[in-house]
Amino acid sequence: MAGCGGCSAGNSFNPGGHYIGIRINENEDGRVVFCETLGQSVEKGQRVIVEGDIGLEYAQVVSLRPMILKQCQLRDARRLVRLANDGDRSSYDAKMDREGAFFAEVVDEAAEKRLPMKLIRTEESFDGRKITVYYTSESRVDYRKLVADLALRHPVRIEMRQVGPRDETKMRGGLGPCGLTLCCSTFLKSFHPVTIKMAKSQNLSLNPSKISGMCGRLMCCLAYEDEGTAKTA
């Protein structure tokens, strides 16, 4: 099968260099991503500072084995900046406290302004320069006044990012009907198309409660066996 879970990002390959597996923000159920060490020596369990999606991120090394990546995973790979120190740990704990307080503040502000949005979480970059607010909504939201009011009290860059039901479930995490941690919150980087035809070709029940995930959409794992089923048909 090409790519991850039916994507078209190409087969596995060795990109060269030394890649390790890290977990961002020490979330035990979080997705493991790849990180290029750039020649630096690390040990499993160590905390490190990496360059990530929103700037610098605090992470934990969870795997030192040589990594065989796919193109989609390489695009998401972090770069190791340095080992974390005691000061970084204190900064991380303070960051988590600020995220919780900021989230509560955004919820109150959005409710006061009667904005049709559901807040999912807030995420602050490790350097404290940027805060991303994730939300869902069935319609377009004019959040300019919300951001302006928040910016008066928080002199940082505030980014509002609307996500769909699948991304919401990915962020919240949970267990699937198989009893394992959700694929989307562990190893899936991006979502691929899943159709009812995939369930039919595998002779699965078409009862929505049997083939739908926590997000209310068709389960991503329906695509995992689809290519193999098509070849043996």
Reported as a single tens digit per residue, the pLDDT across 43-82 is 999 999 998 766 788 999 988 875 565 665 566 788 999 9
* Tens digits of residue pLDDT in 105-146: 999 999 999 999 999 999 998 888 999 999 999 999 999 999
Residue ranges and CATH numbers for the domains of the chain are 19-84 (no CATH), 93-166 (3.30.300), 192-232 (no CATH)
CB-count burial class (<10 Å; 0-12, 13-18, 19+) for 179: exposed
Using one digit for the tens of pLDDT, what is the confidence trace for 138-190? 999 999 999 999 999 999 999 999 999 999 998 888 888 889 888 888 777 77
Check whether 3 has a pLDDT greater than 50: no
pTM (2 d.p.)? 0.77
pLDDT of 226 reads 77
Rounded Cα distance between 170 and 220, Å, is 12
